[in-house]
Amino acid sequence: MTADRLTILHVYPRQMGVSGDRGNVAALVRRAAAAGLDTEVLEYAPGDDLPAAADVVVIGNGPLSAMRSLGADVARIAAPLRSFASDGVPVIAVGGGFDLATNEVVPTEGAPLAGFGVFDARAVRGAERRVNYFVLETRYPLLPGASKRLAGFEDHATTIELAAGVTPFADVVSGGGNQAGAPVEGAIVGTSFGTHTQGPILPLNPQLTDSVLAAAAARVGREYTPDPEQTATIDRYAREARATVDRYVDKAFKRIA
């Protein structure tokens, strides 16, 4: 945290940002402001100097072609990103960004791609494609009293193979998830999580945003206290969107062979 501001580092916003992933950054900024915390958003592009410090890291969704183009840069910044996560900085990796944050991405053709290694897992392409609404019960540590039920959207054909002892991000209520046997989704390490939940996930699930910000603030000795009066309107929008997902979760999309 610099000059009483939480620094949000958005990694590869152009290459890995095809699913409205800036919405996750916007949710963090908006809810932090409502709680009286200033923020600074730094965007990292390939070849830049990676900031030496950050309070939250966001990696969004992107195609395999983008991951391939980033190979050398991924190797260059992998160790610092792992250090952020091990130091308690919440790293939020979504969609292809989650794949890239595992140890390796295994495509259906060609050599595996080395990932950041934030999560002890690997992403194997070629699974049944799941395009559907997504309902989860998260295992991420939320603020007291917060609902563990999350809603969103998934669109991927990846199997996530978690190493022994890795905690999933959530249990699947409806959807595909990691597609590796057990009905679970994503991965958690410390205060970081990876998931294929899009939507974007943070605006749709404010309780998750609050918990990420609380973890980031606590790490630098600050308190994060959500102000429900200031967030009443966006909370209502999120609540209505989640209710729509619940209503239609079994009536749309499904599998694509």
Residue ranges, the chain, pLDDT below 50 = 1-3
Q: How many CB atoms lie within 10 A of CB 181?
A: 8
Q: Return the pLDDT at 1.
A: 47
Task: State the pTM of this model.
Answer: 0.95
Strand order across the 192-195 sheet: 38-44, 5-11, 56-59, 91-94, 192-195, 187-189
Token pair 């999309």 is found at 253
Copy the structure tokens of residue 97: 């960004």
Copy the structure tokens of residue 236: 């209502």
Token pair 């620094």 is found at 7
Q: Return the pLDDT at 250.
A: 78
pLDDT in tens, 110-162: 999 999 999 999 999 999 898 889 999 999 999 999 999 999 999 999 999 99
Q: Return the pLDDT at 248.
A: 86
Q: Return the pLDDT at 19.
A: 84
Alpha carbon distance 143, 139 (integer Å): 12
Alpha carbon distance 24, 22 (integer Å): 5
Three-state SS letters, 164-203: CCCECCEEEEECCCCCECECEECEEECCEEEECCECCHHH
